[in-house]
């Protein structure tokens, strides 16, 4: 047995045992429960939506003229409704009140469109602008989106203001000195009412007689002529040009049998010899000539003199018809029967079939015994030989 000396101490041995490995962030994400994942994603989405809404409000409150150039602002403002993101429509449908956000419901958006005076044919994804008669697309992700309509209103308001500005200029007429004379409201109304192309005239619209379309004039100036003039330029085929109309009048006057020596301002009547002046703004105006033709006494007498001739000829033709009818009745009473018409064939026609000779009273059928079984079999061949002999012989048997 060994005894330890009191001065010596035993050595300590340190042993490191392997413990659990530390978890990484990736492993924790993989081992996380589905409920925790769902809560985390919802939280992140809500935070992102809140931040996007806050960014939208900050952009709306900041003055764009101090941070962005004017060209960039115009490009953003005049973007077409098709290029506008539908998510921006969701942000636009919210109203900022203090620090919080209040979203517009679908009923509120419908009420908003119903309160718009220039909006008609309201549908979930499109509306019609009554100013320009265009259909504005509101997007497909949200019903009754407000942003595309607001964008269209900005563009349409600028067009209407420009049109009304030019409409005031177009309401003036060119004067003899070369300048432009401003027309009053009554003068513009008179111009529209005397226009033959206008069927119904109102202070803000005109009904076109050609295309049956209402043309909106202006919301600021009554009886403005700008939009009506532009419409008539597009619908110009309804009005024949002055040169074409003059050519048509000239052709009708030249082809008139009663006209003699026709000219652009006068024509001589062939019946009475009167020189009729063609009065009117344009050449070959036939109004006075048509009146003279109605009042010309010689032409009316000639028409009445021609009437008995026609009646006499009519009576003569009627009598001839009666006589012919009587002759037909007489011929039918005789009882003669007309022979049937037979088609005439040429003699030299090789395809012509010979006519069969009619049987006479002295005709007697040939008495022969019926052929035997072999005779019935040979009968077609005998008939062929008999016909062949008749064909090569000059005279029939």
CB atoms within 10 A of CB 268: 15
3-state class of 359 per DSSP?
coil
pLDDT at 92: 46
Residues 82 and 158 in one domain: yes
In a domain, 23, yes or no: no
Least confident of 264-268, 276-280, 304-308, 348-352: 304-308
Structural domain that includes position 289: 242-300
What is residue 136's three-state secondary structure?
strand
3-state secondary structure of 290: helix
What pLDDT does residue 358 have?
Answer: 79
Q: Would residue 268 count as lying in a domain?
A: yes
Mean pLDDT of 226-232: 84
Q: How many domains does the chain have?
A: 3
169-191 pLDDT, tens digit per residue, is 444 554 444 445 678 888 888 88
Question: Last residue of some domain: 194, 215, 238?
Answer: 238
For residue 368, give the nearest of 379, 355, 384, 380 by alpha carbon: 379
Last residue of a domain, one of 238, 255, 283: 238
Whether residue 142 sits in one domain with residue 86: yes
pLDDT computed for residue 381 by the predictor: 93
pLDDT digits over 55-103, tens only? 545 554 444 444 444 444 444 444 444 444 444 444 444 444 444 455 7
382-394 pLDDT, tens digit per residue, is 999 988 988 887 5
249: CB partners within 8 A, 6+ apart: 282, 283, 284, 285, 286
Mean pLDDT of 146-160: 83
Q: Is residue 190 part of a domain?
A: yes
Q: Summarize pLDDT for 131-143 with one digit per residue, the tens.
A: 788 889 998 888 8
Q: What is the predicted pLDDT for the residue at 31?
A: 56
> What is the CA 151 to chain-centroid distance, rounded?
29
Predicted local confidence at residue 384, as pLDDT? 93
Q: DSSP secondary-structure letter at 238?
A: G
Place of tokens 């003229």: 65
User: Which of 39-53, 101-115, 205-219, 289-303 is predicted with the least confidence, judged by mean pLDDT?
Assistant: 39-53
pLDDT digits over 282-297, tens only? 788 888 888 888 888 6
Q: How far apart are alpha carbons 34 and 40 in whole angstroms?
A: 10
Q: Are residues 132 and 215 in the same domain?
A: no
Where are the strands (E) in the chain, listed by range?
Answer: 94-97, 100-103, 119-120, 126-129, 134-137, 173-174, 180-181, 198-201, 205-208, 214-216, 259-260, 266-269, 275-277
State residue 385's pLDDT score.
92
Q: Are residues 160 and 73 in the same domain?
A: yes
* Residue 122 token pair: 């309201």
395 occurs within a structural domain: no
Mean residue pLDDT of the chain comes to 69
Mean pLDDT of 216-223: 83
**Above 90 in pLDDT, residue 158?**
no
- CA distances, 379 to each of 372, 387, 397 (Å): 10, 12, 19
Specify if 331 maps to a domain: no
Residue 25 has pLDDT above 80, yes or no: no
Does residue 79 sit in the same domain as residue 118? yes
Per-residue burial over 275-289, b = 16 or more CB atoms within 10 Å of its CB, e = otherwise: ebebeeeeebbbeeb
Q: Are residues 251 and 161 in the same domain?
A: no
Looking at the structure, do residues 253 and 214 belong to the same domain, yes or no?
A: no
**Sign of the dihedral defined by the CA atoms of residues 290, 292, 295, 301, in that order:** negative
Query: Are 141 and 186 members of one domain?
Result: no
* Unique residue bearing structure tokens 């409150």: 61
pLDDT of the residue at 182: 74
For residues 161 and 190, membership in a common domain is answered with no
pLDDT value, residue 288: 87
Put the strands of the sheet holding 266-269 in their side by side order.
259-260, 266-269, 275-277
Q: What is the mean pLDDT of residues 33-54?
A: 48
Q: At what angle do helices 147-170 and 226-234 cross, to 10 degrees?
A: 90
Question: 76: helix, coil or strand?
Answer: helix
Written as six digits, the tokens of 357 are 């000779």
**Residue 87 belongs to some domain of the structure:** yes
Give CA–CA dist 208/196, Å, rounded.
Answer: 9
Q: Which of 105, 134, 165 is the last residue of a domain?
A: 165
Domain assignment of residue 119, yes or no? yes
Query: 201 and 291 share a domain?
Result: no
Q: Is the domain of 86 the same as that of 129? A: yes
Q: Within a domain: residue 33?
A: no
The tokens of 179 are what?
Answer: 């300048």
């Amino acid at each position: 047995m060994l005894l330890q000396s009191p001065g010596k101490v035993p050595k300590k041995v340190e042993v490191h045992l392997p413990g659990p490995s530390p978890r990484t962030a990736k492993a924790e994400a993989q081992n996380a429960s589905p409920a925790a994942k769902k809560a985390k994603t919802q939280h992140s989405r809500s935070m992102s939506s809140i931040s996007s809404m806050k960014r939208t409000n900050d952009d709306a409150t900041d003055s764009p003229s101090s941070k962005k150039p004017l060209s960039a602002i115009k490009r953003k403002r005049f973007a077409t409704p098709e290029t506008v993101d539908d998510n921006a429509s969701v942000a636009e449908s919210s109203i900022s009140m203090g620090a919080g956000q209040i979203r517009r419901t679908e009923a509120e958006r419908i009420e908003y469109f119903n309160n718009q005076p220039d909006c008609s044919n309201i549908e979930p994804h499109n509306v019609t602008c009554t100013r320009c008669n265009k259909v504005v697309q509101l997007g497909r992700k949200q019903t009754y989106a407000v942003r595309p309509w607001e964008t269209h209103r900005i563009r349409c308001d600028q067009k209407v203001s420009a049109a009304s500005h030019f409409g005031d200029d177009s309401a003036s007429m060119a004067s003899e000195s070369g300048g432009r004379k401003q027309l009053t409201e009554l003068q513009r109304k008179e111009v529209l009412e005397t226009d033959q192309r206008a069927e119904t005239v109102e202070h803000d619209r005109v009904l076109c007689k050609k295309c049956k379309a209402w043309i909106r004039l202006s919301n600021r100036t009554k009886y403005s002529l700008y939009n009506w003039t532009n419409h008539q330029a597009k619908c110009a085929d309804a009005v024949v040009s002055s040169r074409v109309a003059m050519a048509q009048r000239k052709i009708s006057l030249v082809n008139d049998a009663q006209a003699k020596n026709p000219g652009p301002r006068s024509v001589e009547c062939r019946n009475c010899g009167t020189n009729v002046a063609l009065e009117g703004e344009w050449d070959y105006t036939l109004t006075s000539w048509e009146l003279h033709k109605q009042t010309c006494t010689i032409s009316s007498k000639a028409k009445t003199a021609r009437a008995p001739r026609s009646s006499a000829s009519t009576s003569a033709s009627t009598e001839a018809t009666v006589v012919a009818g009587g002759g037909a009745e007489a011929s039918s009473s005789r009882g003669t029967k007309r022979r049937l018409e037979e088609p005439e064939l040429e003699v030299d026609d090789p395809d012509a079939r010979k006519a069969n000779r009619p049987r006479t009273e002295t005709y007697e059928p040939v008495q022969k015994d019926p052929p035997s079984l072999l005779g019935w079999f040979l009968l077609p061949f005998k008939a062929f030989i008999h016909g062949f002999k008749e064909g090569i012989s000059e005279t029939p048997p």
